[in-house]
Structure 1
Amino acid sequence: MDISEAMQIVSTSFTVPGRSDRSLLTSISNASNFVPPSKALMAVPSLNQGITLRPIDALHQLSFVTAPAYQDDVFDQYVQWGLHRYLGFFDRSYGAASQVDLRLSAAGARIAGNQRRVTSEDMGIGFGAILGQRWLARTGGAGSAMTIIDIDVALSNRYVYAAGRRQVVQSSTSRRPDYLIIGQNASNPRRYLVRALECKGTKSKGHAIRQLAGAVTQLEGVSVGGHIPRGLAVSTITADDGVSYLAVDPDDGELSFDVSSNSVEQYSNFVLQDESKEIPAGVAVRGSWAVLADFGGNIAALSRWAPSAMLERRWRPQRDRLTIQTPFGLARGTRVTFNIDGRQLAVWHAIATTVDQQLANGSVEEVADAQAAFAQDRAQSDDHEASSDAVFSAAPDGSIFALTLE
């Protein structure tokens, strides 16, 4: 598989099968490691019949969610390693009625041992983030901006990252979910929904059941506004013959939170303590803006919004930032280039300029409004057809990920 074919595959829309029904809830409840959570397990009807996505969007989310974990001096190498590893990870097969299915490439299926475990975890993050966004969009955040952040990277001081993986700084008896989804309320972009997300990945359906049985209790490890937020646990199965997922939602009532300059700016020194569950909504919102700024190399905005725990563990010099024309409008960000198959591939991490400008200079309300406008425009447009030389992915929060051959 050459680079042009790989880019064509990741830009193709596939229906990824998934399940979230009563029989899955029974299987989870019967797992040997299942401990009943305080909330009743619920199926997620909107995720029960699978979803349509492009692999490039999962790679976008994997890059976005994991980018803040890496110090700047190894980030370029991380990007290059990830793209070499995953750009050729997927292939397609043709089923009944000319259906095109997503499966692993021959090279992807050959990954074994510990490297396969790492790959499954990464795919769990990328595809799980997409599923989390679809779940929020279909249950209260349709057409709204939303961002997924790693709780421990952005808000706590429990971990550092070395050799590309998470390393414990201090031990803890608490188990909390890895991620928060921060999304605007569809009816009012200055009110926010904050939910928990736990992403798992495996190559075995049986192991996926056990993963979800443990994940549902992790979802109760945080609180927002004094309440355990709604949560989604998802396991992505990257078997040799295809990609699929299982998902479950310990359902409950939900609060939304007003966001104003005061409610966000007062938390600049917030650190989530090791045994604490409570995360103020204003902290979650500013953390989401800091992660977005970091993704696009907007150091001024990163310094402005990042909670102190995130700034203390991050060293970011100002990189050269460039403007790129995308199908979603102008974007500004950084790029990493390297040679692959005798051609130069550029990887862009960017932010829509309308959002980027407000992150650096706008008020809390202006940032929220800029993200809402971009998300609404994005929701009303279809995925743009990619060429063999350029592939683009845009998320509702204004982040834009692109691969271009130069």
Structure 2
Amino acid sequence: MDLEGAFKVIDTPVHLPGRSDDALIRQLQQQKAFSAPGKTLRPTAGLADGIALRPLEALHWLSYVTRPRYQDDVLDVYMRWGLLRYLGFFAHDYTHSRLPRLTLSEAGRRISGNQRRVTSEEMGIAFGTALAKRWFETTSAADLRTVVDIDVALDARYVFGPSSAVQHIGVQRPDYLLVGADPDDSTRYLVRVLECKGTKNAGHAVPQLARAVGQLDGVTVGGRVPHGLATTVITAENNTSYLAVDPDDEEEPAYEVTAETIDRVRNFRFEADRADASAVEIASASVRASWAMLADFGSNLGALQQWAPEVMERRIVRRPRERLTFPAPVEEARGTSFTFGFDREQLTVSYGIARSVDDALTERSAGAIMEAQRAFAARLRASPTPDEADSRTVYSATADGSIFSLTLERRGRDTFGAAG
């Protein structure tokens, strides 16, 4: 597959088949690894029988969620090559439905051993986070804004996230905190959890999901187990699919986050002997860390230093990178771009922040950021759904203002280079 063919695969809407039903729950309950959660399991609204999405959206989530794990000495390698290994990983299968399904390309099938295991895990993150976004859209009016890596947030050795953002640590815990924002009130947030797994073997998927369910109770926020989602993504050679379940939660609280609460949690970090952290502190610390994470995605170093929790600011080191402005359908973005040459094709990858949100991050006003993100999320919801097109530039955006784009161009000579 050439670069143009790979480009078309990731930008074309596909059908991602999936299951979330009572029969799956009964299968889970029969697994040796199953540990019944404190809440009743139920089929997941919005994920009962598959979803449609562009693989580009999943790759955007993967690059955004995993970026904070990389220190500056390896960040360039991650930014330049982390995505490229997946551009040619998938191919299309049109034999099952109107929309194509994803199979592995010839290149994807050649990946084996530990690299195949890592690929399956990362596709579990990529598509699992995209599934969580769909779940949020179906079960709440809130927009999914923040995805916090709990392993990183809870471990003082790491630089990311509010390390104090969870008041109880279970022996096993879910991967991520998901923070959603009320579209009509920029100060009100929801906190949920996600455990996402990935495998290449369909026979491992149900036992894997059973273990995932057991991890959802491993975190309490404000004294209660939050609403949670468990997913497993199967990247088999002939089909990519998922399984999903969630524990019932009829009374989901919203937490008020204000400029004052954001200011108070700059030094907030988890201490093993501290059990009195309020849900508002947890939500505020998560939101603050998410702004630093967004600033890092678009290489706004001033905003990163301003909004990073103290533990993150002390340990993360980023060198200045040239920032560019590039167009996007909802709003132009500021960030960094890297260009790669392959024979007579050239690919530019851009990581940016919507300009209005980027301005607000720089203003050092929490209220301005909340309002800018609320307004951007509203424009994003109102924007047309991307169609399969022949455009040489494709985009993906998240409700907090991150914008990811790929541009494919033909060129006249064979060179390799990177810019930005």
Relative to the length of structure 1, the TM-score reads 0.91
**Stretch of structure 1 that moved more, 238-247 or 383-392:** 383-392
| Shift in alpha-carbon separation, 1:333–1:217, aligned structure 2, 3 A | same
Q: Do the aligned residues in 2 keep the contact of 1:157 with 1:273 (CA within 8 Å)?
A: no
Q: Counterparts of 1:155 and 1:62 in 2: how far apart (Å)?
A: 20
Is 92-101 or 119-128 further displaced after alignment? 92-101
Deviation at 1:187? Answer: 4.1
Distance 1:312 1:250, change over 3 A: farther
Give the match for residue 403 of structure 1. Answer: 406
- The alpha-carbon deviation at position 341 of structure 1 amounts to 3.6
Which deviates more, 361-370 or 54-63? 361-370
Name the counterpart of 1:350: 352
Letter in 1 for 2:219: V
Which of 257, 263, 267 is the equivalent residue of 1:269? Answer: 267
1:168-214 CA distance string (max 9 Å, x none): xxxx9732212111111244232000111111000122312112211
* C-alpha distance in structure 1 between counterparts of 2:267 and 2:72, whole Å: 23
Aligned to 2:413: none
Aligned to 1:179: 176
Question: What amino acid maps onto 1:254 in structure 2?
Answer: E
Answering whether residue 189 of structure 2 is matched by residue 188 of structure 1, we say: no
* Alignment CA distance shift 1:288-1:230 (3 Å): same
Q: Would you say 1:228 and 2:201 are equivalent positions?
A: no
SS at match of 2:126: helix
The 5-angstrom pairing of residues 7-406 of structure 1 reads 7-96=7-96, 98-142=98-142, 144=143, 146-154=145-153, 156-159=155-158, 174-252=171-249, 253-273=251-271, 280-385=282-387, 386-387=389-390, 389-406=392-409
Which residue in 2 is equivalent to 1:168? none
Separation of aligned partners in 1, 2:272 and 2:7 = 42
One-letter amino acid of the structure 1 residue matched with residue 293 of structure 2: V
| Segment of structure 1 superposing worse, 276-285 or 210-219 | 276-285
Distance (whole Å) between structure 2 residues aligned to residue 35 and residue 48 of structure 1: 22
Deviation at 1:364, TM superposition (A): 1.8
Query: Is the alpha carbon distance of 1:274 and 1:391 closer, same or farther for their aligned partners in structure 2, counting shifts above 3 Å?
Result: farther
The one-letter code of the counterpart of 1:400 is: I
Q: CA deviation at 1:130?
A: 0.5
Q: Distance in 2 between matches of 1:352 and 1:126?
A: 22
| Partner Cα distance (1:33, 1:14) in 2 | 32
Structure 1 CA distance, aligned partners of 2:57 and 2:18? 17
- Kindly indicate whether the alpha-carbon contact (under 8 Å) linking 1:335 and 1:349 is maintained by their aligned counterparts in 2: yes
- 1:8, distance to aligned residue in structure 2 (A): 1.1
Q: Over residues 46-83 of structure 1, what are the superposed CA-to-partner deviations in whole Å (9 max), with x where a residue is unaligned?
A: 11021110000000000000011101221121123323
Alpha carbons of structure 1 residues 138 and 261: separation in structure 2 relative to 1, 3 Å: same
> Residues of 1 paired with 2:334 and 2:390: CA distance?
21
Aligned residues: 395
SS in structure 2 at match of 1:397: coil
Amino acid at match of 1:116: R
- Check conservation: 1:154, 1:291, Cα contact below 8 A: no
Aligned-pair CA distance for 1:248: 1.0
Q: What SS does the aligned partner of 1:197 have?
A: strand
Distance 2:274 2:198 in 1: 27
1:206-231 CA distances to partner (integer Å, 9 max, x unpaired)?
Answer: 31211221112222222222222111
Give the Cα separation in 2 of the matches to 1:24 and 1:380: 35
Task: Check conservation: 1:154, 1:309, Cα contact below 8 A.
Answer: no
Residue 99 of structure 1 deviates from its aligned partner by 4.2
Write the letter of the residue equivalent to 1:109.
R
- Displacement after TM superposition at 1:382 (Å): 2.2
- The 8 Å contact of residues 3 and 341 in structure 1, kept in 2 or not, is answered as no
Residues 129, 159 of structure 1: CA spacing in aligned structure 2 closer, same or farther, 3 A cutoff? same
CA distance in 2 between counterparts of 1:54 and 1:268 reads 37
- Secondary structure (helix, strand or coil) at the match of 2:220 reads coil
1:165 aligned partner: none
Shift of the alpha carbon at 1:91? Answer: 0.8
Deviation at 1:324, TM superposition (A): 0.3
Q: Distance in 1 between matches of 2:272 and 2:32?
A: 28
Letter in 1 for 2:134: R
Say which is worse superposed, 50-59 or 264-273, in terms of deviation: 264-273
- Answer yes or no: is the 8 Å Cα contact 1:76–1:336 preserved in 2: no
CA distance in 2, matches of 1:395, 1:341: 32
Q: Distance in 2 between matches of 1:193 and 1:293?
A: 22
Amino acid at match of 2:254: S
Shift of 1:254: 1.2
Structure-2 change in CA distance of 1:227 and 1:173 (3 Å)? closer
- State the identity as a percent: 49
Give the aligned residue type for 2:296.
Answer: D
Give the distance between the partners of 1:101 and 1:30, measured in 2 at CA: 30
Letter of the aligned partner of 1:27 in structure 2? Q
Q: Is the 8 A contact 1:346 1:404 kept in 2?
A: yes
- 2:268 partner SS: coil
CA distance in 1, matches of 2:344, 2:274: 51
List runs of 5+ in structure 1 lacking aligned partners. 162-171
CA distance 1:196–1:93, shift in 2 (3 Å):
same
Secondary structure of the residue that 1:46 maps to in structure 2? coil
TM-score by length of 2: 0.89
